[in-house]
A and B are shown apart, each in its own frame.
Chain A
């Protein structure tokens, strides 16, 4: 009977397409990192895990990615909120709305390429600074890409995320009737600043905090952007993992798999503890 087959089929599809790949992949990575698989494996060993957990570069790369994620999200949030609040009407409709959406057409790869061509010492901004006489040689231009603090990566991430946040904030503003609430608060005698601080911002934050968290995780896992704008140390997680698996030393491969298992576990933990799946999620395309 059709009706009975259907739910089973769907359930099967779900497990097959969503759960199985991750579990299987994780299993493979785990067994590789424990020395159980791999052409050069010599049997069960905790050596790689020990190495992975004790080397400083692994934790550095997690912390580095996390801080870049948090900083990027925070900066984008500031821009987005100010734009959403001051241009609220024109974001939702009119000609400006197209321009708000335009940056969303840029894939991470392209945005990173553009940022590189702008900010590198021989880039466009440096040329302008030179022509205007601010610097006398291109080496006087500050290191903005491939720098220690990940400035280039942050700029690129901010450019990628801000439009999403702007639209998100503007939608919350509209859907939660914030204009109405603001007027009410002002009628009751609160100043504009106080209304912003006590009413508008808390509501915006409350409604978007899950999305913000997810974006931190997305930025953490981004690959193309740090590949183009990052440097060899410190490295973002994805880049570090791929490099461990693909560089000169074959004995580093289990280490790379240990790192990827660790990354997956950390992300899943964050999700299980903090995730409320019924929320509305947004995802940028820049991973």
Chain B
């Protein structure tokens, strides 16, 4: 008995051994240096792991490719925005010389907070050969929540928020605020939004819809403007509240939970920051085939998501190699296939060299969500992160716990 336990322990130690390769020195301005320094290392990437498709894209496509191309091992660690900020913040505070994390998947308020505490390495994105083809002129890509990205984060994908409904249950989904209110009144308990990014993004599009001109809310955070429109927003939400799921006393904690509720038939609407989500989830078998995505007339927010490298990372060259691959035409086009992930590409496809352009040809169109060109017409810009932080705070104090 005792022997077997000892043997087991040894086996387990062996099974979970970690190898730490040495970090590199400083000069990363020359790409050939980056290529030589970055190879054959192992790095940690922290990202949101809340979607099986995205996880599969990373583990079945990106990781093997990178391993065979550069010999880099990427260990993917689960953790989104706040967790990334908190971990990097503690490291800075503890005066660590080396970060546990080498690459992070971020945007908006995480980027804002990481810049606030100066936790990001940069500028680095212009070093990447593949960055040449990124459509930086597109304000939905070149600006992140109204902030200049300044080379501190690299655009990776672009998406637009959509509402998801079940065609079999709803013939004409509500297109504006009045219709939405009418809808929840006649169908109490069927609508809700989550208490996290997705729900907040929905709240932001509503907030913008109260302004006569969205430009009023674009740019830096403005207290007066916020007060003016948020007051109208909360009045409206309070009108909806009694007719929301669970009488608006509880909200799903995250988007995955909301999808689960939608899939089991508990609610009739879900929503997603990824416009291809509905195709993904139908192909996974989670959503019924009658699910459809749409953008109401008041529009929805389109934004990009990015990759960042922590300042204290000891494997910056390797992280840059990985990032460069992730924005290659090959990886971007694969990512944009609806059956893979359906994430919008950040590349300026029209201006790609012919041999790279071909990657984007013959990609099957998605079936259940409107085409991007149609969504683009209703696209709203992201607001300054301060708006989101305030909305989150006020949502808690004014709606969840009044």
Contacts and interface: CB of A to CB of B under 8 A. Distances in A.
Interface stretch (A35-43, A80-88, A104-112, A156-164): A35-43
Interface in A194-248: 231-234, 245-248
Interface stretch (A69-77, A138-146, A176-184, A258-266): A138-146
Interface string B114-130: 00110000000000000
Contact of A38 (B93, B249, B250, B264): B93
Interface residues of A, number: 25
A233 B83 CA distance: 22
B113 interface: yes
B261 A139 contact: no
A120 B257 CA distance: 12
B195 interface: yes
A121 B109 contact: no
Given A38-B93, A39-B89, A232-B250, A246 B83 contact: yes
A234 B113 CA distance: 28
A249 B392 contact: yes
B94 to A, nearest CB: 10
A172 B86 CA distance: 47
Given A122-B261, A246-B82, A246-B86, A143 B246 contact: yes
Of A138, A143, A246, A248, most B-chain CB atoms within 10 Å: A248
B266 to A, nearest CB: 5
Interface residues of B, number: 32
A138 B266 contact: yes
B401 A57 contact: yes
B266 A233 contact: no
* Chain B contact residues: helix, strand, loop or mixed: helix
B248 to A, nearest CB: 11
A148 interface: yes
Contacts of A246: 82-83, 86
Contacts of A138: 264-266
A21 to B, nearest CB: 16
Contacts of B86: 245-246, 253
B220 interface: no
A250 interface: yes
Contacts, number: 63
A246 B83 CA distance: 6
A236 to B, nearest CB: 14
Nearest to B80: A246
A248 B246 contact: no
A247 B82 contact: yes
B396 interface: yes
Given A139-B189, A233-B400, A121 B266 contact: yes
Nearest to B393: A249
B116 A146 contact: no
A126 B265 CA distance: 12
A122 to B, nearest CB: 4
Of A57, A147, A233, A253, most B-chain CB atoms within 10 Å: A233
B389 interface: yes
Nearest to A127: B264
A246 B401 CA distance: 19
A232 B192 CA distance: 14
B28 interface: no
Contacts of A39: 89, 92-93, 117
A29 to B, nearest CB: 13
A30 to B, nearest CB: 15
Contacts of B81: 248
Interface in B363-400: 388-389, 392-393, 396, 400
Contacts of A139: 188-190, 266
Nearest to B245: A139
A221 B117 CA distance: 32
B249 A148 contact: yes
B360 interface: no
A250 B189 contact: no
B298 interface: no
Given A122-B265, A232-B396, A248-B81, 12 more contacts: A39-B89, A39-B93, A122-B264, A143-B250, A147-B250, A234-B401, A246-B82, A246-B83, A246-B86, A247-B392, A248-B393, A249-B389
Interface of A: 37-40, 57, 120-122, 138-139, 143, 146-148, 231-234, 245-250, 253
Shortest 10 CB-CB contacts between residues of A and residues of B: A122-B264, A233-B401, A231-B250, A246-B82, A139-B189, A122-B266, A248-B392, A232-B400, A39-B117, A146-B250
Interface of B: 81-83, 85-86, 89, 92-93, 109, 113, 116-117, 188-190, 195, 246, 249-251, 253, 261, 264-266, 388-389, 392-393, 396, 400-401
22 contacts: A38-B93, A39-B89, A40-B117, A57-B401, A120-B266, A122-B261, A122-B264, A122-B265, A138-B266, A143-B246, A232-B250, A232-B396, A232-B400, A233-B401, A247-B82, A247-B392, A248-B109, A248-B388, A248-B393, A249-B392, A250-B113, A253-B86
